Structure 1
């Protein structure tokens, strides 16, 4: 029998509706799971057990009267550190940030609260979200529940670990180069990076999105029904759209699907990862999809240009800090940001213009394709205390070649587990769709999930 913390959000809502389960007992079970496992995982920050219990009790009363606030009323959720929640500081992963309580919820948190979700805690992240790691100068070191000696990935590090550990079914992360999808891959969960503007976010920025991190595709779709509601604070928010997020049916027959195994720039592909992704592609091909190899759209110049641009963007923030605060930043990130002072204005402009080159290449690729499949990450894991898979501040983005192009092209992309290494580490399959086809991406992910077969049991610590 599935334990309460391991039930999906879809199942929870169904059982709340038929009165066979209460948000109060579910919240208590999830809090007990957190109490037992959190000393090992360190996935959370600002856990609010009292607030969660109060929210669960209010939800139970609403369900008893048959008047839930929304699709996720009573569902336990977490929100990433850098998404503001009313009354809680927003350290963005770094000891350099003054701990000032947020005056209001950022859009993703506001949508969850309006829908009656039980917000348990914030999840941990690295300094400024600029690492694919659980390493932080502020938070304790987050670990991967599949193997505590391994990193959960990042920057939505705690969210990935929390989802795999069963700290409730829905977790919200952010992604500007892979920060939802990479931890999703390394933690064996589903992580959706929606089209830019599909989920309102504040502050917004080029390529920056919020996205759900869940154990199932259906739960990610349920979360999208809430998170995608409009908010005027995001200047890049897409126009309101009537999307039936629960309609996940799709027949892969006849779909034109590209298989991108070459990263174009960065780390070499681990053979175990490549084999698992190829097998996933063959599964969709057997269902009638027309799968054909396609070349990478990323180049060395593009990846290096993004690095130049992001270094200077980070230096713009870091340079404003008093010297004493700047010294508190994780040394890896501080050295990387400070090197931005050495980049010329021309180098920065060229770096930013690489985003336009990526958009053009992506548009040309999808002129003849419905979807693209690829690995989410070139490797399946790395040590818990490393800042990145290479752990080299001179080569910080060698692992994001499969993920970052779709942030720059504003296209939806989801990571879903497609297997495990011989050592038991999860492997992620990435499914990329046309711009604005967020539902299509979830539908193809559901089609794969349906054909993948039973998942191995979730980790038990």
Structure 2
């Protein structure tokens, strides 16, 4: 049995857990019990889980304990607690996608992500919450109510990987999977102090791929995010958009930034202007890279408001098609904010919808052209820090364009990897994240740069997770 106090086990990293299991210092059963206790303590307020089954968690932890005892463990993540977002298929578990609609889809098979997790012996704690159809950057849902920040329940979780963000920050185990079509991994990352990665297009296989959509790790540290990538970033024929990426090194060894050419991007060209505290924190990151020998050059905005408006209008039309197909009694169950937002899509005819869809190509071309000469692009994740938990969006008006994703969404459209790391706090204690983006297929290099910054950042930028205990 471990000599470690069970009150601290939920704070251990995935790397620490794997090493402790291998050394016989910890059992997956001990860890599962500690994490279950943590969830039961925090969940009444945070509301991060859609599905959580302690009995199943205990059973899977016991199976992992037997494997470690018998020397048949499936790898370093065997027995490590993991959560997955509710829109990632788990066989037999309904997928309501945050809505209160009747008869949600119940998948008969796992998504590739779920299969990779189970094949490696990780213990799935459950499915985390999301807002209706994943089209909000908060934890507000017609089904779940409100998910809340682990830092302060008055603050938003970020979204749409809302529950995943709070679960990661609160210590519901070290590894969490979110999905992202415009910033839905990185926004909870910046507003809850996390290390995250929106990977290159198709690097982590999806069973329902879509333009701009990606899934990726959310954790308290870059090392854990990279360790998770070592099992998630494996080809699967079910994702017909996958690309033949070269092998990547997820060990995070040989970290250095002196040879990097780095872009500093602080004017998105659309959406809200960054708050002064956010801007100062991000510019301090660039200064740290420059002080270490990296060549840092400020770049101008490369998208514009027309691109953002067109993309938002296309998404409205896509969701309007889903909403319109519902019977009136079911339409009434959709979150009113989402119903109002997508109703704007009804006014576009076929030609205008095609023009709106074409904004994706424009954004992709602009992002790649502006960033191709750099190894890394440093920018804010969002222009603002966390807003009230009850608010669906930072700008609380469904008729306005999404003003908070102009730094994140270009990399969904271009397929480039983009990571987040905490880089500071506002004067009232809200986390501020920096986004580090790179070339397509250079995900390991992006994470190495993130790991370097994580190790070199000032103490004032380091989240103190013990404050959340």
Is the aligned partner of 1:81 residue 2:123?
Answer: no
Q: Partner of 2:42 in structure 1?
A: 37
User: Deviation at 1:437?
Assistant: 0.8
Equivalent residue for 1:183, pick from 188, 196, 214: 188
Residues 349-370 of structure 1 show CA distances to partners (whole Å, capped at 9, x for unaligned) of 1111111111211222223211
Q: Hey, what's the Cα distance between the residues in 2 that align with 1:65 and 1:26?
A: 18
Equivalent residue for 1:5, pick from 1, 7, 10: 10
User: Deviation at 1:296?
Assistant: 1.7
Q: Hey, what's the Cα distance between the residues in 1 that align with 2:468 and 2:383?
A: 26
- Taking a change above 3 Å as real, the CA distance of residues 213 and 197 of structure 1, as seen in their structure-2 partners, is same
Q: Do the aligned residues in 1 keep the contact of 2:375 with 2:438 (CA within 8 Å)? A: yes
- Taking a change above 3 Å as real, the CA distance of residues 3 and 453 of structure 1, as seen in their structure-2 partners, is farther
Stretch of structure 1 that moved more, 34-43 or 388-397 = 388-397
Structure 2, unaligned runs of 5 or more: none
Equivalent residue for 2:411, pick from 392, 406, 410: 406
User: Deviation at 1:242?
Assistant: 2.5
Structure 1, unaligned runs of 5 or more: none
Q: Hey, what's the Cα distance between the residues in 1 that align with 2:160 and 2:76?
A: 27
User: Deviation at 1:438?
Assistant: 0.6
Q: Partner of 2:394 in structure 1?
A: 389
* 1:280 alignment partner, SS class: helix
Q: Partner of 2:351 in structure 1?
A: 346
* 1:388 alignment partner, SS class: coil
Q: Hey, what's the Cα distance between the residues in 2 that align with 1:329 and 1:367?
A: 41
User: Deviation at 1:99?
Assistant: 3.5
- Taking a change above 3 Å as real, the CA distance of residues 122 and 249 of structure 1, as seen in their structure-2 partners, is same
User: Deviation at 1:153?
Assistant: 0.6
Question: What are the residue-to-residue correspondences of 1:192-211 with 2, within 5 Å?
Answer: 192-211=197-216
Equivalent residue for 1:460, pick from 440, 465, 468: 468
Question: What are the residue-to-residue correspondences of 1:4-153 with 2, within 5 Å?
Answer: 4-153=9-158
User: Deviation at 1:396?
Assistant: 4.3
User: Deviation at 1:57?
Assistant: 0.6
User: Deviation at 1:240?
Assistant: 5.9
Q: Partner of 1:168 in structure 2?
A: 173
Q: Do the aligned residues in 1 keep the contact of 2:308 with 2:401 (CA within 8 Å)? A: no
- Taking a change above 3 Å as real, the CA distance of residues 396 and 151 of structure 1, as seen in their structure-2 partners, is farther
Q: Do the aligned residues in 2 keep the contact of 1:45 with 1:121 (CA within 8 Å)? A: yes
Moved over 6 A (4+): none
* 1:46 alignment partner, SS class: strand
Q: Hey, what's the Cα distance between the residues in 2 that align with 1:112 and 1:140?
A: 28
Q: Hey, what's the Cα distance between the residues in 1 that align with 2:463 and 2:398?
A: 35
- Taking a change above 3 Å as real, the CA distance of residues 347 and 108 of structure 1, as seen in their structure-2 partners, is same
Q: Do the aligned residues in 1 keep the contact of 2:245 with 2:441 (CA within 8 Å)? A: no
Stretch of structure 1 that moved more, 359-368 or 217-226 = 359-368
Q: Partner of 1:249 in structure 2?
A: 254
RMSD of aligned residue pairs (Cα, Å): 1.3
Residues 20-79 of structure 1 show CA distances to partners (whole Å, capped at 9, x for unaligned) of 011100010000000011001001111011111111111111111222113411010100
